[in-house]
Amino acid sequence: MVSITPSDRYSASCQLADVAAIFNRIDIYTVESFVAQNMEELAKFNRTSFLKTFLELLRTYNARVDAIESEKSLLIEIPGRLKA
């Protein structure tokens, strides 16, 4: 079993799993580490490929947010070094 939690809730998630006596049967990941891990796998653990995968993720996110959100401050500014 896997639990994915925000980083600020990681400790609480571990404690709750321990109280529920399932800590040894569950993997608990922060959202950040889970996403980064999956991106590294998609990029086959190659730095250049990782940066391309990350850029693609940011562009997809921005396109989706731009299409449906009126609050444009949710868009992520893509650093120049990634665009090159």
Q: What does the block give as tokens for 79?
A: 């650093």
- pLDDT per residue as tens digits for the range 49-84: 888 888 999 999 999 999 999 999 999 999 888 776
Q: Across residues 37-57, what is the average pLDDT?
A: 89
Other CB atoms within 10 Å distance of the CB of residue 83: 9
Asked if 34 and 7 count as a contact pair (C-beta separation under 8 A), the reply is no
Its pTM surpasses 0.75: no
Alpha carbon distance 26, 13 (integer Å): 11
Q: What does the block give as tokens for 41?
A: 């796998």
What is the pLDDT, as a whole number, of residue 84?
60
More confidently predicted of 43 and 62: 62
CA atoms within 13 A on the CB side of 63: 6
